[in-house]
Structure 1
């Protein structure tokens, strides 16, 4: 009888230990998803009116532009640098 009780206790112990190992660990608090990017000012191209973020705009005479081609076209039409 006491061997049966010992076998039941050992089986219960293995079951509890196995159940704890099978559970997925909680994700660490350090690995958080990055938040949304900070908003940027939107500027419009002086030639075509396309809106683009400030860091992608090309400065030129008469405003900002979406591409080097539009900048040179605009400066040629409006009397660019002399």
Structure 2
């Protein structure tokens, strides 16, 4: 019985070590885009979009010309 437990533990340790060394390194994962555009929130609808595609007025960001004309919406909850 003790011999069986020894072999089970040995096989489990070998499988664990094999899986640990088989995994790719953390640097091999999908690289982040270094020049990702900062995101801003539309003051009217709350959608997030890249700042280079947003329209600004009085330090507020908007996702479209229509929302820019309508202005910000008060968000009371």
TM range (shorter): 0.3 to 0.5
* Relative contact order, higher structure (CA 8 A, sep 6+): 2
TM-score norm. by structure 2 comes to 0.46
TM-score, reference length from structure 1:
0.44
